[in-house]
């Protein structure tokens, strides 16, 4: 596991719109994924996490563009790759799973053909070979009777089965990395659990790295090794899942953890984070979280704190992160 | 295929059941069915002409000009050169239907290709293509077709070129509009994330989702094309004599309108009936494929 990084995103900036009234939904995001690792990216709606994921594969909407920074995958910078060379990475070396499998599957195409399409295009398989492979994948993701289900249309499947089809599609060319955009948000909890287990198990078996975008903290805890917390277009904290969840070093992370129910501490009331995420057209000065922060000082309003690397993989963008640790300490 | 599947479910049926019910019931659509039956009869009569008449449509018999209906073995009489009208009607229909079928196919294909490119890529590609479409649309259909055939010279090939040059714009507009909407669907993003080429995304993923509108339109377009072909032949710009064709039959017969009225009326009726059959199919298909149709 040593040596080359699988994916390295450095100082990524994305801008929507022209020079006048431009919005920067991603404002200097950096993170890295090692081979075989599962990394979670969490944050509220509008924090830029989905946008970050889309910019990795160059799938930004037409009015958005990467203004600076790089996305290096296995030594190749994906941000300035031509369309045809990018297409050799998309689907072949990096797979993607979407939030809503019903709308991400083509309604008029048989599911088997949709799974077989990747191997046909990227691996140069014949029709018969690709069908064979699609059946095999359907079996691996736990779709019963692939011979019969192969010719079904997406509307004939349940939500969980559709997401299994999406996973089969993402795995179809043995990618080195799979990007997941809230893959379980549209599913109910029991199905959610099955899908997460399946995903984690398949990636573990094949040594595939996983990047997992979600707003659901327990999901991250179940699947990921490392986690990055995003707020208002920036990463505010990074570290291993265990470290970040037990010893949060950013008041926003602390707030997220406090606002999620915990089975180990029943009866404890939830504490929502006061206020709303900032309007990205005019983000607040200084630390972007300071208007909602319980520990904010005068210096938070003025200086814009960078993500500071602490020991190991740990990093935080809070000037007064010790206070979060103190808060945790006084409670336990 | 019994009455079991026919009863409409109470409340909003799930999408799957609705599609299944729609498939099972296409033959219950009276408009579509009437149109299909009528067209089948017309096609059978035209292409089964050798079974229905023993006369050659082009053989002149100057000893028997302008024979009345049912006389001397001629079901619908003969024209001024003694050619059997019934035979000419059937064989002429073959020509008109074949030319109309091809004349609708070329603009259909061209319009869909051009419209897909405009809709999928947008930007300047879209702007240029749609301005060309606007220019073509600004001319009346018949005026432009007649003018083009006049310039290109008479004959079948000119008809195809003229109708294609004028007719593609409708298909381009329909397809462009549908693709502009459909390309924002997530399955297109998913296809892009799978590293598929633009051509593959358009042909395999987008067109199957949007092509029905163009097919429905083609059914009404073919009516217009038959009229255009008949009009051109009537004006002497279309199918050339001695080949029989409904337009030239109407044109030839009009000199005898006061005495042998059937010479013009019968091919005219043939055009009307064919037009009605195709319009019924078009309407029926539109009803059947319209989203939310019950």
CATH of the domain at B131: 1.10.3720.10
- Residues in B closer than 8 angstroms to A90, CB to CB, are 192-195
pLDDT at B3 over 60: no
* Contact between chains at B187 and A103 (C-beta distance less than 8 A): yes
Domain count of chain A? 1
Most confidently modeled range among A22-26, A122-126, A268-272:
A122-126
Question: What is residue A309's predicted lDDT score, i.e. its pLDDT?
Answer: 87
User: Is residue B239 included in any domain, yes or no?
Assistant: yes
Are A255 and A273 within 8 A, CB to CB?
yes
* Overall average pLDDT of the B45-74 stretch: 86
More confident position, B112 or B71: B112
* Beta strands A7-16; A64-73: pairing state: antiparallel
Closest CA to A191 of A160, A156, A232: A160
The band of B24, judged by pLDDT with boundaries at 50, 70 and 90, is: low
Residue B215 touches chain A, beta carbons under 8 Å: no
User: Is residue B166 included in any domain, yes or no?
Assistant: yes
The band of A89, judged by pLDDT with boundaries at 50, 70 and 90, is: very high
d(CA A115, CA A171): 9
Residue B265 backbone dihedrals phi, psi, to 5 degrees: -65, -40
Residue B204 touches chain A, beta carbons under 8 Å: yes
* Overall average pLDDT of the B207-235 stretch: 90
Given strand A76-77, what is the order of strands in its sheet? Answer: A23-33, A7-16, A64-73, A76-77
d(CA A21, CA A247): 39
* Overall average pLDDT of the A225-239 stretch: 92
pLDDT at A330 over 80: no
- Residues in B closer than 8 angstroms to A166, CB to CB, are 190
pLDDT at B125 over 70: yes
Residue of chain A whose Cα is closest to the Cα of B196: A87
Note whether ipTM > 0.90 here.
no
Question: What is residue B11's predicted lDDT score, i.e. its pLDDT?
Answer: 40
pLDDT at A92 over 90: yes
pLDDT at B175 over 90: yes
Tokens standing for residue A26: 């991603």
User: Is residue B120 included in any domain, yes or no?
Assistant: yes
Domain count of chain B? 1
- Residue B280, phi-psi category: left (phi > 0), alpha (psi -120 to 50), beta (remainder): alpha
The band of B240, judged by pLDDT with boundaries at 50, 70 and 90, is: confident
User: Is residue A313 included in any domain, yes or no?
Assistant: yes
Nearest Cβ partner of B187 from A90, A92, A105?
A105
User: Is residue B1 included in any domain, yes or no?
Assistant: no
Q: Compute the mean pLDDT over every residue in chain A, rounded to the nearest whole number.
A: 88
User: Is residue A303 included in any domain, yes or no?
Assistant: yes
User: Is residue B42 included in any domain, yes or no?
Assistant: yes
Nearest Cβ partner of B193 from A91, A103, A156?
A91
* 3-state secondary structure at position B84: strand
Which residue do the tokens 């939310």 mark? B292
Cis check: omega of the bond before B242, within 30 degrees of 0: yes
Range(s) of the domain holding residue B171: 35-57+71-289
More confident position, A106 or A2: A106
Range(s) of the domain holding residue A295: 248-332
User: Is residue A290 included in any domain, yes or no?
Assistant: yes
Which residue do the tokens 């149709």 mark? B293
* Contact between chains at A100 and B197 (C-beta distance less than 8 A): no
Cβ contacts of B149 within 8 Å, gap of 6 or more: B158, B159, B162, B232, B237, B238
Give the A-side interface with B, CB within 8 Å: 57, 59, 62, 84, 86-92, 95-96, 98, 100, 103-109, 117-118, 121-122, 153, 155-156, 166, 169
Question: What is residue A2's predicted lDDT score, i.e. its pLDDT?
Answer: 44
B20, B125, B193: best to mutate for the A interface, most A CBs within 10 A: B193
User: Is residue B94 included in any domain, yes or no?
Assistant: yes
d(CA B294, CA B279): 21
User: Is residue A69 included in any domain, yes or no?
Assistant: no
pLDDT at A268 over 80: no
Question: What is residue A184's predicted lDDT score, i.e. its pLDDT?
Answer: 86
* Overall average pLDDT of the A258-269 stretch: 77
Question: What is residue B20's predicted lDDT score, i.e. its pLDDT?
Answer: 57
Question: What is residue B68's predicted lDDT score, i.e. its pLDDT?
Answer: 80
d(CA A87, CA B176): 24
User: Is residue A324 included in any domain, yes or no?
Assistant: yes
Q: Which of A51-55, A265-269, A285-289, A314-318 shows the lowest per-residue confidence on average (mean pLDDT)?
A: A265-269
* Overall average pLDDT of the A52-56 stretch: 92
- Residues in B closer than 8 angstroms to A100, CB to CB, are 186
User: Is residue A299 included in any domain, yes or no?
Assistant: yes
User: Is residue B63 included in any domain, yes or no?
Assistant: no
pLDDT at B121 over 70: yes
Residue of chain B whose Cα is closest to the Cα of A170: B194
CA-derived radius of gyration, chain B: 23
CA-derived radius of gyration, chain A: 21
A179 to A93, A203, B190: CA distances (angstroms):
11, 11, 12
What size, in residues, is chain A? 332
User: Is residue A156 included in any domain, yes or no?
Assistant: no
The band of B17, judged by pLDDT with boundaries at 50, 70 and 90, is: low
User: Is residue A319 included in any domain, yes or no?
Assistant: yes
Residue of chain A whose Cα is closest to the Cα of B122: A62
pLDDT at B136 over 90: yes
């Amino acid at each position: 596991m040593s040596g080359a990084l699988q994916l390295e995103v450095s100082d990524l900036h994305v801008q929507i719109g022209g020079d006048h009234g431009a919005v920067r939904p991603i404002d200097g995001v950096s993170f890295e994924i090692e081979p075989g690792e599962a990394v979670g990216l969490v944050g509220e709606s509008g924090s830029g996490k989905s946008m970050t994921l889309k910019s990795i594969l160059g799938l930004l909407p037409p009015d958005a563009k990467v203004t600076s920074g790089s996305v290096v995958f296995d030594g190749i910078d994906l941000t300035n790759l031509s369309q045809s060379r990018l297409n050799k990475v998309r689907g072949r070396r990096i797979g993607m799973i979407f939030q809503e499998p019903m709308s991400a599957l083509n309604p008029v195409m048989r599911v088997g053909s949709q799974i077989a399409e990747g191997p046909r295009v990227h691996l140069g398989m014949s029709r018969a070979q690709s069908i064979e492979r699609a059946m095999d994948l359907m079996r691996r993701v736990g779709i019963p009777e692939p011979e019969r289900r192969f010719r079904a249309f997406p509307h004939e499947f349940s939500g969980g089965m559709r997401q299994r089809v999406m996973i089969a599609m993402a795995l179809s060319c043995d990618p080195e990395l799979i990007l997941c955009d809230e893959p379980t948000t549209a599913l109910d909890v029991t199905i959610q659990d099955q899908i997460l287990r399946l995903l984690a198990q398949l990636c573990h078996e094949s040594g595939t790295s996983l990047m997992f975008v979600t707003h659901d903290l327990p999901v991250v805890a179940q699947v990921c090794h490392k986690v990055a917390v995003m707020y208002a277009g920036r990463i505010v904290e990074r570290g291993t899942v265990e470290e970040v969840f037990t010893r949060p070093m950013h008041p926003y992370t602390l707030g997220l953890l406090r606002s999620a129910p915990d089975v180990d501490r029943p009866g404890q009331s939830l504490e929502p984070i006061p206020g709303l995420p900032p309007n990205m057209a005019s983000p607040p000065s200084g630390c972007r979280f300071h208007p909602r922060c319980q520990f904010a000082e005068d210096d938070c309003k003025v200086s814009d704190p960078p993500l500071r690397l602490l020991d190991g993989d740990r990093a935080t963008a809070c000037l007064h992160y010790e206070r979060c640790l103190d808060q945790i300490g006084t409670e336990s | 295929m019994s009455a079991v599947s026919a009863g409409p479910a109470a409340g909003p049926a799930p999408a799957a059941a609705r599609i299944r019910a729609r498939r099972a019931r296409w033959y219950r659509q009276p408009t579509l069915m009437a149109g299909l039956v009528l067209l089948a009869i017309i096609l059978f009569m035209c292409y089964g002409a050798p079974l229905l008449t023993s006369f050659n449509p082009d053989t002149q018999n100057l000893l028997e000009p302008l024979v009345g209906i049912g006389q001397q073995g001629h079901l619908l009489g003969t024209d001024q050169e003694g050619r059997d009208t019934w035979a000419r009607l059937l064989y002429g229909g073959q020509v008109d239907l074949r030319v109309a079928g091809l004349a609708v196919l070329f603009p259909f294909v061209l319009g869909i290709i051009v419209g897909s490119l405009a809709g999928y890529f947008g930007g300047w590609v879209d702007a240029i293509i749609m301005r060309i479409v606007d220019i073509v649309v600004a001319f009346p259909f018949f005026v432009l077709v007649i003018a083009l055939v006049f310039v290109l010279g008479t004959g079948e090939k000119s008809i195809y070129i003229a109708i294609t040059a004028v007719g593609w714009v409708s298909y381009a507009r329909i397809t462009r509009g549908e693709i502009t909407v459909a390309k924002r669907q997530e399955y297109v993003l998913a296809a892009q994330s799978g590293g598929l080429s633009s051509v593959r995304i358009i042909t395999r993923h987008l067109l199957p989702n949007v092509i029905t509108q163009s097919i429905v339109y083609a059914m009404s377009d073919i009516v217009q094309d038959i009229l255009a072909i008949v009009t051109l032949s009537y004006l002497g710009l279309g199918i050339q004599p001695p080949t029989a064709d409904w337009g030239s039959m109407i044109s030839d017969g009009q000199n005898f309108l006061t005495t042998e009225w059937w010479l013009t009326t019968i091919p005219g009726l043939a055009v009307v009936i064919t037009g009605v059959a195709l319009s019924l199919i078009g309407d029926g298909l539109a009803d059947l494929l319209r989203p939310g149709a019950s």
